[in-house]
Chains A and B, each alone.
Chain A
Amino acid sequence: MRSRLWVFLLAGAALTTFAVQADVPRPRDDLNARDRARVEKVTRETTDFSKAESFEKMQAGAATTTKHINPDIFSHPSANLKFEDQQRFLLGNGLFRKDWVTAPSSTEASDGLGPLFNARACQSCHIKDGRGHAPSGPEEQTVSFLVRLSVPPTEEEQKKISAGHVSAIGDPVYGGQLQDFAAAGLPAEGRVRVAYEDVPISLSGGETVHLRKPVLAIDKLGYGSLRPDAMFSARVAPPMIGLGLIEAIDEGDILAREDPDDADGDGVSGRARWVRDENGEWKLGRFGWKGNAATIMQQSADAFSNDMGLSTPLAPDHWGECTQAQSACRTMPHGAQPHLGGQEVPGDLLDLVAFYSRNLAVPARREVDHPAVLAGKRAFYEAGCAGCHTPKYVTRRDVAVLSLAFQLIWPYSDLLLHDLGEGLADNRPEGTATGREWRTPPLWGIGLTKTVSGEATYLHDGRARTLLEAILWHGGEAEAARNKVVEMEKAERENLIRFLESL
């Protein structure tokens, strides 16, 4: 991680010194000089923990929701939406909760599910627009949890990955994801079982925390064996709040924190994930556990296709994730109607779902100036957590959705890839992300996770049952920060958790 340097603030000699570096951040072209200076000032990391910062409570700017805290708290629209946009939001909500059915059915506009699928509705996995959870043991059916598959690429295949045409090479029969449901008459691909191994961790003060390390197994395979060298990686559904604001962050503001070779020697590097967007352009990957999508539109289309087997203009195969080897699957009836747009989910419906996904509001912070919360905030900064969990940004002025423009936001993420060590590694590379790298997930709203869904769990595969467990799993670039948390006095550690719970 490298601190941000703003060319426009540097005069004379300083400017010359930094201007020769190829990756010096360009000044933001969406702002005038006055606003640039204001943005620089307001996003500078604080050193004063004696009181809350200005604007800190409204962590998503004017889009922040101040509704009552209850299990619906992740389901409200950006607070500054106009009535007209509230309608688009609610139409998107209707589609997000909609149970799709397999074709053919009497309602032509609502069918096309599968043939292979993980879920019938978006909200099946994004439970109340919040986080999914890992199964508690091998007997529990996996819900809001899925497994990605791939095999080591050949040299030729690696070229395709490097060119951004695919992010991984799927199993020749099962493809890139295991779907555990199928349309009637077709076998499901298999069932995922998760067992856990106990990993005790001693903390200063004599406390011991028992982590659980997941061990994945797949049984009831429906299409013969997987390739013996197939790699698995489990994923729980991430929360849906604040995504449009993440999309509205200036790319340069994110790239300014990249430090792939750790030039500043602080042990934290940070690499951008580059992916092709829906127009085939190279773009910064901001969404997904490994940063595999640049835009919410792309992420939504991928989810429709992979998780529900529904075609969209961006992922036009009606058979979703059926491979060529699953030939019966590819010839099953589909739900596309030429007069409704030629896809199972036509472009106007995809747009509504994307609009909805952009505008799920982040709740206001609680207890923002409580002494324990402020002490925890100090501990967060002093342990180095803010090195990757970047506190704040001001979004671009020129984004299409006005409610998201020029907002001071506090997502606590640099949106870059980091090596998090062997403990968290899935050893399954995806695009330019290695098998040890993960994109820093935003932390806003994390304190309300259990309010929204009591079963929700943390980290990419939901292995962590508490925030402390999630911290203790951090390794690699985050090892030093994690060790500081282990060594903290219990009271300070509790303050740190209290700060996270106030987000």
Chain B
Amino acid sequence: MKFPVALAMAAVGASFAHAQEPSAVLVNYADIALAGYEDSLETARSLQSAVSALIDKPSEETLAAARQAWLAARVPYQQTEAFRFGNPIVDEWEGRVNAWPLDEGLIDYVDAGYGTESDINAFYAINVIANDKLSVGGETIDTSRITPELLRSLHEVGGIEANVATGYHAIEFLLWGQDLNGTNPGAGDRPYTDFDPASCTGGHCDRRAQYLTAATDLLISDLEEMVSNWSGGGAARNALTQSDPNAGLTSMLTGLGSLSYGELAGERMKLGLLLNDPEEEHDCFSDNTHNSHFYDVQGIRNVYFGKYDRIDGRTIEGPSLAALVRDKDPVLADEMEAKLDATYEAAKALKSRAETIEAYDQMIGEGNAEGNAAVQAVIDGLVDQTRSLERVIAALGVSGVSIEGSDSLDNPDAVFQ
């Protein structure tokens, strides 16, 4: 019963001069999601070309170009993380593409300090690249050809989440190798000859090339799937635009709050500070964590302001949450925007520190007061902005949309209160 009422309210809203319609805000949100995944796909295709060039002609230059292409591909992708947590279709898919952290010994050779066996993860150091068949728990897996299908089947094999066989971070490991510098300067330093069958280092260079190709191909098909989900008639777009607009706004705001507070401020940043552990670094092989955090912050702004700068220089801009809040409560709108700006400045400072002074994994090192503080400032901004987001949710009156009227017996999602 809620749906027509909400639509009627939206129609009333439209009769006011500058008022924003929630349904139009949702369409713009879906358009930005589509553009973000399209840009991710396009940069992943550039990565694919660079990977082909590396494999055709391994050299310092082609390896460097492939690494650059990977870094460029992360820029639009990280901005799409703001579409997680509110959209079940994205959440279900995300693990294939951006799973982290990973036990890299599943994929390739690792330093002796990594160890050869885990208590339980039978795949911990199984090294798919070096073995054309794997024998685990009495079962044999044929790995003679490394294909996208094989990698898909090895992803989270044995129910161990750290068995990440696919996605950005698997590719990152293949391009950079392990970062053995701890909280000291330096990223992973894999030589280009690891991909050169003629003067092969690290062994099995042809199979390493196969793995990298298969993982990149798989990334592209996964991104194609998500582009199609957000295109006209796509499942993710329909889920938002064909139901109660208030539920759609809740999805948007839930995504922003969950990414800000729990995922980014919490699991990706605060845990690293708590443990001072360089393994707790999102892009740990490439030392690109500062960018991955920065573009998450950018992605949150994109959703709030309804504006996205595409990789080709075009800008998508339309009806936004920001305008919706401003219609409702200009003081709260000022507060929310000031908080988002503060976080953005802190994230910029962190990015600039990483580019000029020390890498992110050094910043989280024990006893590095200044580095720790740079990370903490972003955490504080994210936490603080989420408190304002909660006020926004209250002001828009969209909290608990999905369980409203829960005493109704004909609502199967009802809960006792």
Contacts and interface: CB of A to CB of B under 8 A. Distances in A.
B203 to A, nearest CB: 25
Interface string A112-140: 00000111110111011010000010011
A93 B258 CA distance: 15
B416 interface: yes
Given A72-B95, A97-B101, 4 more contacts: A88-B266, A91-B266, A123-B160, A139-B138
Interface string A436-475: 0000000000000000111100000000000000000000
Given A57-B412, A120-B119, A407-B416, A84 B261 contact: yes
21 contacts: A52-B412, A57-B413, A72-B95, A82-B390, A83-B257, A87-B261, A87-B265, A87-B267, A90-B263, A97-B101, A106-B182, A110-B277, A121-B119, A123-B160, A123-B161, A124-B118, A125-B120, A128-B159, A349-B274, A408-B416, A452-B159
A119 B270 contact: no
Contacts of A110: 275, 277, 279
A369 B412 CA distance: 10
B119 A93 contact: no
Given A83-B257, A408-B416, A117 B159 contact: no
Contacts of A68: 88, 91-92
Interface in B376-417: 383, 386, 389-390, 403, 409, 412-417
A89 interface: yes
Interface stretch (A58-66, A200-208, A255-263, A286-294): A58-66
Interface string B78-102: 0000000000100110010000010
Contacts of B280: 94
Given A72-B95, A83-B390, A86-B258, A66 B274 contact: no
A42 interface: yes
Contact of B271 (A42, A94, A454): A94
A83 B415 contact: no
Interface in A139-157: 139-141, 143-144
B414 A83 contact: no
Interface in A30-89: 42, 52, 54-55, 57-58, 61-62, 64, 66-68, 70-72, 82-84, 86-89
Contacts of A83: 257-258, 260-262, 386, 389-390
Contacts of B416: 42, 54-55, 61, 394, 407-408
Contacts of B390: 82-83
A178 interface: no
A95 B267 CA distance: 9
B283 interface: no
A127 B159 contact: yes
Nearest to B88: A68
A48 to B, nearest CB: 13
A109 interface: yes
In which size bucket is the chain B interface? 35 or more
A327 interface: no
B276 A108 contact: yes
Interface in B119-142: 119-122, 137-138
Given A108-B276, A128-B161, A368-B412, A143 B261 contact: no
A74 to B, nearest CB: 11
Interface in B224-277: 257-258, 260-263, 265-267, 270-271, 274-277
A127 B366 contact: no
A306 B58 CA distance: 50
Nearest to A181: B119
A68 B94 CA distance: 13
B162 interface: yes
Contacts of A124: 118-121, 160
Nearest to B266: A87
A329 B274 CA distance: 28
A225 interface: no
B371 interface: no
Contacts of A119: 119-120
Interface residues of A, number: 66
Nearest to B275: A109
A107 interface: yes
Nearest to A307: B119
Nearest to A102: B115
A277 interface: no
B114 to A, nearest CB: 11
A68 B95 CA distance: 13
B148 interface: no
B83 to A, nearest CB: 16
A407 B159 contact: no
Contact of B414 (A55, A72, A108, A130): A55
Interface in B337-386: 366, 383, 386
B156 interface: yes
B225 to A, nearest CB: 15
A99 interface: yes
A408 B415 contact: yes
A67 B267 contact: no
Contact of A87 (B121, B182, B262, B403): B262
Contacts of A128: 159, 161
Contacts of A91: 266-267, 270-271, 274
B166 to A, nearest CB: 15
B278 interface: yes
Nearest to B416: A408
A109 B277 contact: yes
Contacts of A61: 415-416
Given A64-B415, A139-B138, A407-B416, A118 B119 contact: yes
Contact of A140 (B137, B260, B270, B412): B137
Contacts of B119: 117-121, 124, 181
A408 B417 CA distance: 8
A97 B162 contact: yes
A86 B414 contact: no
Interface string B162-182: 100000000000000000001
A455 B157 CA distance: 11
Contacts of B92: 68, 70
A110 to B, nearest CB: 5
Contacts of B263: 90
A18 B257 CA distance: 52
Nearest to A144: B120
Which residue, of B120, B258, B390, has the highest number of chain A Cβ atoms within 10 A? B120
B369 to A, nearest CB: 14
B413 to A, nearest CB: 6
Contacts of B415: 55, 58, 61-62, 64, 407-408
B279 A107 contact: yes
A55 B158 CA distance: 35
B189 to A, nearest CB: 18
Nearest to B256: A83
A143 B120 CA distance: 6
Interface in A348-385: 348-349, 364, 368-369
A97 B182 CA distance: 20
Which residue, of B121, B262, B275, has the highest number of chain A Cβ atoms within 10 A? B262
Nearest to A454: B159
A453 to B, nearest CB: 4
A86 B271 contact: no
A406 B416 CA distance: 9
Contact of A109 (B137, B266, B274): B274
A52 B412 CA distance: 9
A87 B382 CA distance: 11
A122 B200 CA distance: 39
Nearest to A369: B412
B120 A67 contact: no
Nearest to A72: B95
A327 to B, nearest CB: 24
A90 B366 contact: no
A121 B161 CA distance: 12
